[in-house]
Amino acid sequence: MSSLTQERNTPQYGVDVIPQLMNYPVAGGVILYQGSIAVLTEGVATKGQPGAGFIALGRVEATVDNTTGAKGALRVPIRQGVFRWGNSTGADAISPNDVGSDCFIVDDQTLAKTNGGAARSRAGKVVLVDPDGGVWVQIGIGL
């Protein structure tokens, strides 16, 4: 593509600077449960899990069962924003001192303070830690 020589109509996705609700194709052979962490891998959404290279997408807004479907056969709505997740334990527990720091995906509902020796992908930024240990994290693509 070459540089513009006239005005261009460039469409915007959603109405927010960072769209809150996105729709992604789902990996084959998985169930994404409403309220869980979703990650992006190979262009499709799958459940939050340990492993390097996943991109945190946000919170799954509706359960989608693609256990018998092919990659991309179904789509799932995923919301970006600040959500409350479960906290890891022991040395990997996120504390109020970690507010503003990155945290990392343990599974589809739990986050940890460290990347587990590069074995976990980044979830987002810690916003708040509740007295009971619940972790509020800003999560979404590009956040």
pLDDT tens digits for 91-142? 999 999 999 999 999 999 999 999 999 999 999 999 999 999 999 999 998 7
**The model's pTM:** 0.87
Q: Dump strand ranges (E) for the chain.
A: 21-25, 30-32, 37-41, 44-47, 55-60, 64-66, 75-79, 81-87, 102-105, 110-112, 122-129, 135-139
Asked whether the beta carbons of 128 and 103 are under 8 A apart, the reply is no
Across the chain, mean pLDDT equals 92
Q: How far apart are CA 100 and CA 45, in angstroms?
A: 26
Q: What is the DSSP letter of 4?
A: P
Give residue 88's pLDDT band: very low, low, confident or very high (50, 70, 90).
Answer: very high
In the chain, the amino acid numbered 25 is P
In the predicted structure, residue 69 carries a pLDDT above the cut 80: yes
